[in-house]
C-alpha cells in the first residue's frame, strides 16, 4: 500500500519558522517533485542553496522579500487567506542559486522543486497579475483556476504550478483523469502533489487516487493543510456540503506538457447538455 496523505509535521526549524511539510524522493514515491510548506512569522527567514533543482516559491499568504543573491523582490504576496480567491505572487529560481526568503508579514510559503539539467534560466518574479484565471466545469463540477506556471509558460524547465478553488458540494479534478504515461502526444507523465486548505478549517474533503488495474486504489479524508501525493493514476476530489476547497497543485515530469486522459467509465458526464 502506498501512503498518499501526509499530515503537517509542524517541525520548529527556528524562531518564527515552522516546517509543515517536507516531501522528498526519500519519503514519497516521487522522482520529479519535492515540496516544502513553511509557516513564517514576521521577521523570520529561510536560506536555501539550490544545486540540481529549480524552485517556484509561492507566497500562499503573507508578504516576503525574496533574493537569489543577485536579484531581490520585495513585498511578494497579495493575501492574508487563500480564500480571498485572488491570485498571489510567486518567484521562480533556477538551479545553482542561493535563496533567501525573509518574511515581512506573517504567512505561509510553498516551495515547489523539480530536478533540472538546464542552465541559463533567470530568476523571475511571477506577479499575481500574470496569473491567467479560468472557470472550469458545470453542474456540480465547477471550480476556479489560477495558473501560476502552466505548460505554456517558458519560465520553468519542468515545473507546473496551479491553484484551484472548488465550491461547496462540487467535485474537482473530475471526471477522474490521469497523466501517468510518457506517451506523447496521447498522454504525458506528470507526478503531482495537492496541498489542501479548507474553509471553514475544521472541515474535510475526500480524495481518491486509483489506477485502472486497482493495484493502487486509495480513498481518504483530507483535512486542512494536508498534502496528497499522486505518483500515478486518477485523482478526483469531492467537497462536502457547507465547505469550500482550495488546493495548490505541483506537477513535474520528463516533459513539461499537461496531456491527460479521462477515466472512460466516467467521461460520459462531459457530453451532458
> Is 167 among the domain residues?
yes
| Biggest CA-to-CA distance, the chain | 56
State the pLDDT at residue 2: 63
**Contact yes or no for 223/217 (Cβ under 8 A):** no
**Per-residue confidence of the chain (273 residues) as pLDDT tens digits?**
566 889 999 999 999 999 999 999 999 999 999 999 999 999 999 999 999 999 999 999 999 999 999 999 999 999 999 999 999 999 999 999 999 999 999 999 999 999 999 988 999 999 999 999 999 998 999 999 999 999 999 999 999 999 999 999 999 999 999 999 999 999 999 999 999 999 999 999 999 999 999 999 999 999 999 999 999 999 999 999 999 999 999 999 999 999 999 999 999 999 888
Range of the domain at 106: 5-264
Alpha-carbon distance 63 to 98, whole Å? 20
| Burial class for 28, CB neighbours closer than 10 Å (0-12, 13-18, 19+) | buried
Q: Is 240 left (phi over 0), alpha (psi -120 to 50) or beta?
A: beta
State the pLDDT at residue 119: 85
> Is 217 among the domain residues?
yes
State the pLDDT at residue 266: 96
User: In the chain, how many domains are there?
Assistant: 1
> Is 172 among the domain residues?
yes
DSSP per-residue codes, 238-256: E--TT-EEEEEEEEE-SS-
Q: CA torsion sign, 245 to 110 to 113 to 87?
A: positive
State the pLDDT at residue 31: 97
> Is 241 among the domain residues?
yes
**Contact yes or no for 263/176 (Cβ under 8 A):** yes
pTM of the model: 0.96
Alpha-carbon distance 222 to 228, whole Å? 8
Which neighbouring-strand residues pair with 205? 222
Q: CA torsion sign, 37 to 39 to 42 to 45?
A: negative
Q: What is the CATH number of the domain that holds 11?
A: 2.60.120.10
State the pLDDT at residue 117: 93
Report residue 268: phi and psi, to 5°: -60, -25
> Is 194 among the domain residues?
yes
Q: What is the CA radius of gyration of the chain?
A: 18
> Is 219 among the domain residues?
yes
> Is 272 among the domain residues?
no
CB neighbours of residue 148 within 10 Å? 28
> Each residue of 167-199: b (16+ CB within 10 Å) or e?
eeebbbbbbbbbbbeeeeeebbbbbbbbbbbbb
Alpha-carbon distance 219 to 235, whole Å? 9
Do the strands 160-166 and 217-223 form a parallel or antiparallel pair, or are they unpaired?
Answer: unpaired
> Is 25 among the domain residues?
yes
Amino acid at each position: 500500500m502506498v501512503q498518499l496523505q501526509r499530515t503537517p509535521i509542524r517541525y520548529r526549524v527556528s524562531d518564527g519558522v515552522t516546517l509543515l511539510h517536507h516531501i522528498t524522493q526519500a519519503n514519497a514515491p516521487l522522482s520529479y517533485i519535492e515540496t516544502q510548506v513553511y509557516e513564517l512569522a514576521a521577521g523570520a527567514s529561510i536560506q536555501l542553496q539550490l544545486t540540481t533543482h529549480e524552485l517556484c516559491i509561492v507566497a500562499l499568504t503573507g508578504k516576503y522579500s525574496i533574493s537569489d543573491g543577485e536579484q531581490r523582490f520585495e513585498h511578494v504576496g497579495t493575501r492574508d487567506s487563500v480564500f480571498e480567491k485572488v491570485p498571489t505572487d510567486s518567484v521562480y529560481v533556477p538551479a545553482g542559486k542561493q535563496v533567501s526568503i525573509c518574511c515581512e508579514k506573517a504567512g505561509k510559503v510553498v516551495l515547489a522543486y523539480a530536478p533540472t539539467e538546464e542552465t541559463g534560466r533567470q530568476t523571475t518574479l511571477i506577479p499575481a497579475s500574470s496569473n491567467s484565471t479560468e472557470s472550469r466545469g458545470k453542474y456540480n463540477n465547477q471550480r476556479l483556476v489560477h495558473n501560476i506556471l502552466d505548460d505554456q509558460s517558458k519560465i520553468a524547465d519542468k515545473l507546473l504550478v496551479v491553484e484551484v478553488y472548488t465550491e461547496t458540494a462540487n467535485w474537482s479534478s473530475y471526471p477522474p483523469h490521469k497523466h501517468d504515461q510518457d506517451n506523447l502526444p496521447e498522454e504525458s507523465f506528470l507526478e503531482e502533489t495537492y496541498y489542501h486548505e479548507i474553509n471553514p478549517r475544521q472541515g474535510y474533503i475526500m480524495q481518491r487516487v486509483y489506477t485502472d488495474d486497482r493495484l493502487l486504489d486509495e480513498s481518504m479524508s483530507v483535512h486542512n493543510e494536508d498534502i496528497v501525493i499522486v505518483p500515478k493514476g486518477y485523482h478526483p476530489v469531492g467537497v462536502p456540503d457547507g465547505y469550500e476547497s482550495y488546493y495548490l497543485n505541483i506537477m513535474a515530469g520528463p516533459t513539461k506538457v499537461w496531456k491527460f486522459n479521462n477515466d472512460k467509465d466516467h467521461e460520459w458526464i462531459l457530453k451532458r447538455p
